[in-house]
């Protein structure tokens, strides 16, 4: 159950968005991908998910490319949040989880436990458009995890959240990891990555500028230096 990226590259015309990434994410680990706007994080995720074909190289989960037959094994929180505004939270999640082969009653059961945990039980029958952006983000997160994926990809999961909600989501992410899920998430901020990850990879203009175990990196660089390189 390893995520392996080998010489993964994506070019758009003459522009190299991702310039040959190699990485191996250990099973059950939390892996942080750092980088400023345009560094190539989302493009890398889309190639891992099979939404975008690499120009060259491979991205494999458990030895195979993630195609449509294996979509249900993966959970994805996209950077551009996209829920159906007119659907209720329940209908939204039942619909999305059906795409993962999950039965209505199972979805509702899981949904209720997450709503309780996020302290928003009263939102079950509210339309998505009636919720604040932060609460919509919690629902979008639930859409990525209700089916208990093997691999969870979170694109900027904490952006736009106030500190209380960001902490709530961090706790949720940690508990999912404890249950054995492998998690990869992106962030602009070293702080988020530092709190949650042991292994990190930092991208700049599609190239890896730093990678490895956080403790080793801290030993080699001051955290101030790392922040400067991320910006």
Contact residues toward ligand ATP (CB under 6 A) are 12, 15, 17, 35, 37-43, 79
| Separation of alpha carbons 7 and 12, rounded Å | 16
Length of the chain, in residues: 231
CB of 68 to ligand ATP, least distance (A): 20
- Residue 13, both tokens: 């015309």
| Distance from C-alpha of 79 to C-alpha of 159, rounded to nearest angstrom | 9
The strand pairing partners of 18, in sequence order, are 10
Min CB(196)–ligand ATP separation in Å: 18
* CB 212 to ligand ATP: min, Å: 20
**Comparison of 12 and 84: residue with beta carbon closer to ligand ATP:** 12
Question: Which is nearer to ligand ATP, 39 or 120 (by Cβ)?
Answer: 39
CB of 133 to ligand ATP, least distance (A): 17
Measured from the CB atom, is 32 or 40 closer to ligand ATP? Answer: 40
Q: Residue 89 in 3-state DSSP? A: helix
Query: In the bound complex, what is the minimum distance in angstroms from residue 127's beta carbon to ligand ATP?
Result: 28
- Residue 227 burial (10 A CB sphere; 0-12, 13-18, 19+): middle
149/80 Cα distance (integer angstroms): 20
Of 92 and 140, nearer to ligand ATP (C-beta) is 140
Contact predicate 153/76, CB 8 Å: yes
CB closer to ligand ATP out of 35 and 75: 35
């Amino acid at each position: 159950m390893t995520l392996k990226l080998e010489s993964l590259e994506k070019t758009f015309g003459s522009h190299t968005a991702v310039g040959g990434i190699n990485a191996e994410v250990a099973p059950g680990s939390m892996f942080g991908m750092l980088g400023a706007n345009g560094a190539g994080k989302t493009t890398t995720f889309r190639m891992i998910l099979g939404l975008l074909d690499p120009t060259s190289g491979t991205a494999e989960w458990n030895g195979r490319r993630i195609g449509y037959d294996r979509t249900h094994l993966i959970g994805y929180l996209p950077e551009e949040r996209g829920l159906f505004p007119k659907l209720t939270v329940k209908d939204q999640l039942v619909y999305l989880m059906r795409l993962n082969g999950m039965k209505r009653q199972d979805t509702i059961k899981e949904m209720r436990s997450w709503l309780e945990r996020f302290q928003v039980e009263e939102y079950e029958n509210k339309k998505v458009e009636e919720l604040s952006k932060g609460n919509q983000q919690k629902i979008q997160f639930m859409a990525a995890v209700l089916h208990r994926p093997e691999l969870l990809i979170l694109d900027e999961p904490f952006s736009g959240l106030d500190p209380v909600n960001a902490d709530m989501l961090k706790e949720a992410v940690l508990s999912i990891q404890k249950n054995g899920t492998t998690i990869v998430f992106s962030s602009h901020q070293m702080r988020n990555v530092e709190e949650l990850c042991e292994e990190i990879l930092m991208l700049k203009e599609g190239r890896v500028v730093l990678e490895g175990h956080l403790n080793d990196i801290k030993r080699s660089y001051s955290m101030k230096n790392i922040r400067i390189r991320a910006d």
